Amino acid sequence: MNTNAGDTELSPAELINYTQYPIDQPQDQATQAIIRQIQVGLAEDGCAVVRDFLSPEGLRALLKEAEERSPQAYYSQKKDCNVYLNEGDASLPSDHPCNRFLPRTNGFITTDLFGEETAAHRLYFWEPLKDFLATCLGKEALYLYEDPVSSMIVNVGRPGQQFNWHFDTNEFTITLLLKAAQSGGYFEYVPDLRSPEDECYAEVQKVLDGDRSRIKRLDLREGDLQFFLGRFSLHQVTANTGDTDRLLLIMSFTEKPGVVGSVARVKDLYGKVTPAHYASEQQKVRADKLLD
Ligand SMILES: O=C(O)CCC(=O)C(=O)O
Ligand SMILES: [Fe+2]
């Protein structure tokens, strides 16, 4: 029984636009076509959008859950962040990307606020979704991001709020836009700005210095699914210039099992850490040696 929605509980397949995207049937022609579309998008610019991925009922249920929880969103005390969302590096010059701090004012509804009874939880833990994403990425398997605070979250962008240029900890993210900003609140990104082998500091610096030549802006609409490689593509959300909140559901996946965010980053962004964060600090699992 769904105690939140007060109406019939929707199955994961009912949350999505299943007729168009029967993703639990990998051999279906429609699924094959959408996999190809995503693969082309990812290869061309590290990002792909699936229009109207959510069913109208699914969008309604997920939005309702997010709106109910948005008063509990966490807003960091620290408002100036670098692209690595870490403390910076005093041994480097002040204009080095590690020491360039920009305003970040958005908030997050964290994973722990979405119990097992929620539609968001059901969708995130739906095995066919994970398998579908792995196929799109040409990987044998994909793993849920095991961070108990930030694996599946909602980014809340109130009027005036923004999220600075940054890289994610986890490799793959899907986002579902639940409520668009009336104006502003654009997702902008630079595909593949860094690679697992190279931080590409000079290229990061150019973006921070205002070079927009490599920047792409996404046309994302409510109910769309965005497929994104956030560990390698620098990205930001521009200021919400409308009068209503922008709400975006984020589900994260990793290449290796057992990835958990760093204590400092998670505490700062999401306001809480768990014993799992401290445990993973001793034995950090990452598929590369990049900063996060
Ligand atoms: O809100 C968005 O579109 C992206 C949020 C994001 O980049 C993040 O939470 O790491
Ligand atoms: Fe991000």
pLDDT at 77: 86
Ligand 1 atom closest to the CA of 235, numbered from 1: 7
| Substitution site in 145, 169, 187, 236 for ligand 1 pocket (most atoms within 8 Å of beta carbon) | 187
The complex's ipTM works out to 0.98
pLDDT at 252: 94
In single-letter form, the type of residue at position 256 comes to K
pLDDT at 3: 47
Ligand sitting nearest the alpha carbon of 176: 1
SS3 category, 273: coil
pLDDT tens profile 149-182: 999 999 999 999 999 999 998 888 899 999 999 9
Atom 10 (ligand 1) nearest CA: 168
**Cβ contacts of residue 163 below 8 Å, gap of 6+?**
104, 105, 106, 155, 157, 236, 237
CA of 147 to the centre of ligand 2 (A): 15
In single-letter form, the type of residue at position 146 comes to E
48 contacts 37 by C-beta, under 8 angstroms: yes
Ligand sitting nearest the alpha carbon of 155: 1
Point out which residues pair with 237 in neighbouring strands. 163, 187
CA of 270 to the centre of ligand 2 (A): 13
- For the chain, list the domains and their CATH numbers: 12-282 (2.60.120.620)
In single-letter form, the type of residue at position 48 comes to A
| Substitution site in 237, 240, 268, 270 for ligand 1 pocket (most atoms within 8 Å of beta carbon) | 237
Q: Residue holding tokens 């990998």? A: 26
239 contacts 68 by C-beta, under 8 angstroms: no
CA of 12 to the centre of ligand 1 (A): 23
pLDDT at 6: 46
Closest C-alpha to 56, from 20, 110, 3:
20
**Cβ contacts of residue 282 below 8 Å, gap of 6+?**
none
pLDDT at 284: 78
CA of 169 to the centre of ligand 2 (A): 8
pLDDT at 1: 46
Distances (CA, A) of 52 to 5, 124, 152, 191: 21, 17, 20, 23
pLDDT at 48: 95
Q: How far apart are CA 96 and CA 100, in angstroms?
A: 6
**Cβ contacts of residue 108 below 8 Å, gap of 6+?**
73, 74, 150, 153, 154, 155, 156, 269, 270
Q: What parts of the chain have a pLDDT lower than 50? A: 1-6
Share of the chain above pLDDT 70, in %: 97
Token pair belonging to 1: 């029984």
Pocket of ligand 1 (CB under 6 A): 155, 163, 168, 175, 187, 235, 237, 248, 250
